Amino acid sequence: MTDHPHDWFGDGSGRPPPPPAPSTPSSTPEWFDDEAGPLVRLYAMTAGRARPTSEAFDLAAVIHADEAGTEAAPPPSPEHTTIIELCRAAPRSVADLAADSDLPVGVVRVLLDDLLDAGHIRVSRPIAPAQLPDAGLLKEVIDGLRAL
């Protein structure tokens, strides 16, 4: 360290540098994302519910938009509307809806529960493996078709 005060700050003035200017508040609140717009917490989308009341929404359940549901009350949120529009384009599984709507599966299940209660959608389940024909029967069918 030197004995000359003007050397302490490196500019020769002997004075400390001015403090940084106070930061001005930004024009956009912190809860705002430039790309996505205002951010909404997931629990706000589901009204605080964590689970659907119905057990019908496993990952492989196929969701169909119910055309009779067009006469029902309009969906309560944009997320509900997005799910209905995706299902109108083509029936989709719960897993596909979660991926296509960019929402967690748990949230999609709760939203689907709302739509089911309002009559906007129908749920069909894939055929259970126990109900599928066994491999031996399928092999016999294939062998029979090859013999033709």
Percent of the chain predicted with pLDDT > 90:
10
89 alpha carbon, distance to own chain's centre: 18
**Residue 102 region, left (φ>0) first, then alpha (ψ -120 to 50), else beta?**
left
Instruction: Return the pLDDT at 66.
Output: 82
Residue 63 sits at φ, ψ, to 5 deg, of -105, 130
| pLDDT tens per residue across span 13-58 | 666 667 666 655 555 555 555 565 555 666 666 666 767 777 778 8
25 residue type, one letter: P
CATH number of 54-127: 1.10.10.10
Adjacent-strand bridge partners of 132: none
List the beta bridge partners of residue 45: none
Ranges 61-65, 71-75, 123-127, 135-139: which has the least confidence:
71-75
Q: Summarize pLDDT for 88-134 with one digit per residue, the tens.
A: 899 999 999 999 988 888 888 888 888 888 888 888 887 766 777 78
The pLDDT value given to residue 104 = 85
CA angle in degrees (0–180, nearest 5) for 97-101-102: 115
Asked if 72 contacts 119 with a C-beta cutoff of 8 angstroms, the reply is yes
